[in-house]
Amino acid sequence: MSRISADEMRQLLKVYFIMGSNNCKENPLKIAEEAFKAGVTLFQFREKGNGALTGEAKYHFAKELQHLCKQYDVPFIVNDDVELALELDADGVHIGQDDEAAEQVRKKLRDKILGVSAHNLEEAQQAIENGADYIGIGPVFPTSTKEDAKEVQGTSVIRVLKENGITIPIVGIGGITPENAESICEAGSDGVSVITAISHASSPSGRVQMLKQAVERGIANQ
Ligand code: 3NM
């Protein structure tokens, strides 16, 4: 196996669905399956915050979601928990700036996908040096899903990265909806990562399709 190519990574970032059990008002597996059927390109298991599962329950829930991902050919990324990702033989890991150092995580993951959250040019350059396959930039818009989210930045950081010649695949996060997704991709993002836009939607499949169309319009205008 070798590291994922940038082109392949860009394709996967188009509609990146992130979810944990506490992000759902209805059966999470049902929501995930409906979203996968409609064309989610990448999935992240993020079991965090109030009421999040732990221990065995977390492990079993992750396994169920991973099984669903395999069924629909959606790569399965684990947020933060490198040991769980290795135990499950997940497709990759996403880490923030306060998690285990990216350099260490890259060594443990070998060729698996590594995503790193960055909030400015310096953090992005550091993540690239440490072996990230993509970087997550956020919060682009106000979000109430992440309690410790940093200051809202609009599309400014994405633009700064592009203006400074950063070519690593980029995905925006935070408060993204079908209505604002186009502007994020126009600014240089390769796709959108969302939690509630899909997990709280009355029709997750309809929402995925709308996001996909907005992303394609934005990319066409880059
Ligand atoms: N990370 P929603 S914002 C998980 O800024 C996460 O790094 C963020 O949820 C960051 O799509 C965020 O419901 C929450 O706004 C995204």
pLDDT in tens, 12-27: 999 999 999 999 999 9
Q: What dihedral do alpha carbons 52, 149, 131, 107 form, nearest 10°?
A: -30
Candidate of 15, 18, 211 to mutate for ligand 1, largest count of ligand atoms within 8 Å of Cβ: 18
Cβ–ligand 1 distance for 117 under 6 Å, the answer yes
174 in contact with ligand 1, CB cutoff 6 A = yes
144 Cα nearest atom in ligand 1: 15
Averaged over 170-184, what is the pLDDT?
Answer: 98
pLDDT the model gives residue 141: 98
CA distances to 116, 186, 192 from 165, in Å: 18, 16, 20
Tens-place pLDDT, residues 57-75: 999 999 999 999 999 999 9
Which residue spans within 123-199 are E strands per DSSP? 134-137, 170-173, 192-194
* The pLDDT of residue 70: 98
**73, 48 contact by CB (below 8 A):** no
Q: What is the CA(68)–ligand 1 centre distance, in A?
A: 23
Residue pointed to by tokens 């409906």: 34
Position 2 scores a pLDDT of 94
Active site residue 112: no
Which pLDDT score, from 0 to 100, does residue 52 have? 97
Catalytic residue among 58, 63, 108, 146: 146
Mean pLDDT of 190-218: 98
Lookup result for tokens 């997940």? 90
On the 0-12 / 13-18 / 19+ scale of CB atoms within 10 A, 158 is: buried
90 pLDDT above the threshold of 90: yes
139 lines ligand 1 (CB under 6 A): yes
pLDDT grade for 1, boundaries at 50, 70 and 90: confident
The closest-lying atom of ligand 1 relative to the alpha carbon of residue 79 is: 4
Q: Is the Cβ atom of 152 under 6 angstroms away from ligand 1?
A: no
Instruction: Report how far residue 172's alpha carbon sits from residue 182's, in angstroms, rounded to the nearest whole number.
Output: 11
pLDDT at 26: 95
217 is catalytic: no
The alpha carbon of 32 and the centre of ligand 1 are apart by a number of angstroms equal to 18
Give the long-range contacts of residues 91-100, CB within 8 A, separation 24 or more.
92/133, 94/44, 94/46, 94/136, 97/123
User: What global pTM score does this model have?
Assistant: 0.98
- Cross-strand bridge partners of residue 173: 193
Say if ligand 1 is within 6 A of residue 180 CB: no
Residue 140 is predicted with a pLDDT of 98
Ligand 1 proximity of 196 Cβ (cutoff 6 Å): yes
Q: Distance (Å, rounded) from C-alpha 88 to C-alpha 92?
A: 10
Residue 135: alpha-carbon gap to chain centroid: 9
pLDDT digits 0-9 by tens, 107-136 = 999 999 999 999 999 999 999 999 999 999
Residue 21 among the catalytic residues: no
Q: Determine the pLDDT at residue 215.
A: 98
Q: Which long-range contacts (CB under 8 A, 24 or more apart) does 104-109 make?
A: 106/130, 106/131, 106/132, 108/82, 109/82, 109/85
pLDDT tens digits, 41-62: 999 999 999 999 999 999 999 9
